[in-house]
Amino acid sequence: MRLWSLHPKYLDARGLSALWREALLAQAVLAGRTRGYRRHPQLARFRATRNPRGAIAAYLRAVAEEGARRGYRFHAERIRPGRARMRLPVTRGQLDWELAHLRRKLWGRDRAAYRRLPAARLAAHPLFDVRPGPVEPWEERR
Q: Is residue 139 part of a domain?
A: no
pLDDT at 84 over 70: no
**β-strand partners of 6:** 124
* 8 Å CB contact between 45 and 138: yes
Q: Is residue 124 part of a domain?
A: yes
Rounded Cα distance between 78 and 60, Å, is 9
pLDDT in tens, 86-111: 899 999 999 999 999 999 999 999 99
Q: What is the pLDDT of residue 40?
A: 85
Q: What is the pLDDT of residue 120?
A: 80
Dihedral, CA atoms, 88, 55, 7, 3, nearest 10 degrees? Answer: 100
* 8 Å CB contact between 125 and 4: yes
Q: Is residue 2 part of a domain?
A: no
Dihedral, CA atoms, 106, 109, 111, 114, nearest 10 degrees? Answer: -10
Number of structural domains (the chain) is: 1
Residue 61 is part of which domain span? 8-131
Q: Is residue 92 part of a domain?
A: yes
Q: Is residue 1 part of a domain?
A: no
Q: Is residue 137 part of a domain?
A: no
pLDDT at 74 over 70: yes
Which residues are within 8 A (CB) of 65 and not within 5 positions of it... i.e. 6 or more apart? none
Helix (H, G, I), strand (E, B) or coil at 109: helix
**pTM > 0.85:** yes
pLDDT at 127 over 60: yes
pLDDT at 141 over 80: no
Q: Is residue 3 part of a domain?
A: no
Q: Is residue 136 part of a domain?
A: no
Confidence of residue 132 (pLDDT cuts 50, 70, 90): very high
Rounded Cα distance between 6 and 132, Å, is 15
Helix (H, G, I), strand (E, B) or coil at 62: helix
pLDDT in tens, 5-62: 999 999 999 999 999 999 999 999 999 998 878 878 889 999 999 999 999 999 999 9
Dihedral, CA atoms, 61, 39, 87, 102, nearest 10 degrees? Answer: -70
